[in-house]
Amino acid sequence: MHTDLPYHIPGYNPAPEDRPHLDLFLLTIFQEGKQLSTIRAYGWHLNKLSQWLHNETEHNMITATEYDLLSWGAYLRMTYSEATQKQGISAARTFYRWLHDKEIITKNIGRVLHTPKVRVSMQRTLTRDEITRLIQVCPEETPIGKRDQALIAILVDAGLRASEVCNLDRKDLSTARHSLLVHSKGGNTDQIFLSNFCIAYLEKWLAVRPEADTDALFISIGGTRPHTRLTPRGLRIILRKRGKQANVPDVHPHAFRRSFATLRLKAGQPSRIVQILGRWKNLTTFERYSQALLGDSAFWKEAMIQYSPLKEITTDDFDRK
């Protein structure tokens, strides 16, 4: 495997006999244009599958049987969430279809695996108070504190994904125009706009950002690889740390993306505008995120009162209770 490729598979290594085929498969889907996050996820799941076959059966990934794959699928069901199962099975099905197309195997045994349906559940969002506390625990007098405040600000102001935040370069940001170029899922580049509040946090960070060999907007400070581009894993660690300090549970990048939607909807911004600003192409996905509002009884009570037909019909002066 070439060491200069822009993806690294974290975690487990595959069994030695499986590595050549896995390396060639990952190189193929990289050349095809798959997103780096997808390649890393597929690599992680397939390395785990290789290790599972090595430990639990007498087969490798080429000699595996339908029974082996079904047993692995059952292991996934008993071990992981539906979303993780779906990703692992998608990786395996894609890999075995590729093996069959390349005539490395004579039968596509991956077809025996069925993708589980991921049930929609209430998803974590952050309140205004929680976000305020997260910003306040970041020490303003230090570069790390200013960086972390800027990270929190851009996550909630723009609704960016973790990979999008980490892929930002300084040249993508224009503080004068309040604009930002975001390198999105699917390889697209979108121009978005930031509030003056977010720009203020970013300017404070840029004023103290250490010099580095990378043009990345956000870099690591300290640790084993200082002054290098911040990674999604590093971002998750930062947010989890600030969450513990602020006594805010379950703080992670995607909670901010959901909060971007719910807080704007609660402020009265039309849902179609929020969908466009958040760059949700799929209305179903956007509606799933906004379902977090279902548990906010105060929001719905206010909405019922504000838009009640009786508001324009009755002449009595009722209290708003």
249 in the same domain as 167: yes
CB 47 within 8 A of CB 39: no
55 in the same domain as 189: no
* Domain CATH number, residue 69: 1.10.150.130
Hey, what are 285's tokens? 């996905």
Segments forming the whole domain that contains residue 282 = 128-304
Boundary residue ending a domain (112, 141, 174): 112
Is the pLDDT reported for residue 7 higher than 90? no
276 in the same domain as 216: yes
Boundary residue ending a domain (60, 78, 112): 112
Count of domains for the chain? 2
| CA gap 209, 146 in Å, rounded | 9
Bridge-based pairing of strands 189-193 and 179-183 is: antiparallel
In what helix (H) or strand (E) does residue 190 lie, and over which residues does it extend?
A: strand 189-193
Q: What is the pLDDT of residues 184-197, one digit of tens each?
A: 766 788 898 999 89
Average pLDDT over residues 81-104: 95
Is the pLDDT reported for residue 121 higher than 90? no
Average pLDDT over residues 25-37: 90
Hey, what are 260's tokens? 């971007």
212 located within any domain: yes
13 located within any domain: no
pLDDT of residue 289: 64
CB 206 within 8 A of CB 172: no
38 in the same domain as 186: no
276 or 25, higher pLDDT: 25
255 in the same domain as 154: yes
* Domain CATH number, residue 173: 1.10.443.10
Determine how many CB atoms are found less than 10 A away from the CB of residue 165.
Answer: 20
pLDDT of residue 11: 78
292 in the same domain as 161: yes
Contacting residues for 81 by C-beta, under 8 A, at least 6 apart: none
162 in the same domain as 234: yes
31 located within any domain: yes
The phi and psi torsions of 221 (rounded to 5 degrees) equal -130, 120
257 in the same domain as 141: yes
165 in the same domain as 253: yes
CA atoms within 13 A on the CB side of 272: 0
Q: What is the pLDDT of residues 150-209, one digit of tens each?
A: 999 999 999 999 999 999 999 999 999 999 999 876 678 889 899 989 999 999 999 999
CA distances from 49 to 31, 45, 82 (A): 23, 6, 17
- The answer to whether the predicted template modeling score (pTM) of the entire model surpasses 0.85 is no
pLDDT bin (cut points 50, 70, 90) of residue 35 is: confident
pLDDT of residue 160: 92
pLDDT bin (cut points 50, 70, 90) of residue 280 is: confident
pLDDT bin (cut points 50, 70, 90) of residue 265 is: confident
Is the pLDDT reported for residue 291 higher than 90? no
State the average pLDDT for the chain: 87
101 located within any domain: yes
Is the pLDDT reported for residue 1 higher than 70? no
| CA gap 68, 74 in Å, rounded | 10
pLDDT bin (cut points 50, 70, 90) of residue 144 is: very high
pLDDT of residue 293: 63
Q: Which one of 67-76, 119-128, 155-164, 259-268 scores highest in mean pLDDT?
A: 67-76
pLDDT bin (cut points 50, 70, 90) of residue 10 is: confident
Is the pLDDT reported for residue 292 higher than 70? no
139 in the same domain as 84: no
221 located within any domain: yes
Is the pLDDT reported for residue 91 higher than 80? yes
CA distances from 160 to 146, 150, 249 (A): 19, 13, 20
1 located within any domain: no
120 located within any domain: no
Is the pLDDT reported for residue 127 higher than 70? yes
318 located within any domain: no
pLDDT of residue 29: 94
pLDDT of residue 312: 59
Boundary residue ending a domain (112, 145, 176): 112
Residue 3 class from Cβ within 10 Å (0-12 exposed, 13-18 middle, 19+ buried)?
A: exposed
134 in the same domain as 107: no
287 in the same domain as 147: yes
Average pLDDT over residues 79-101: 94
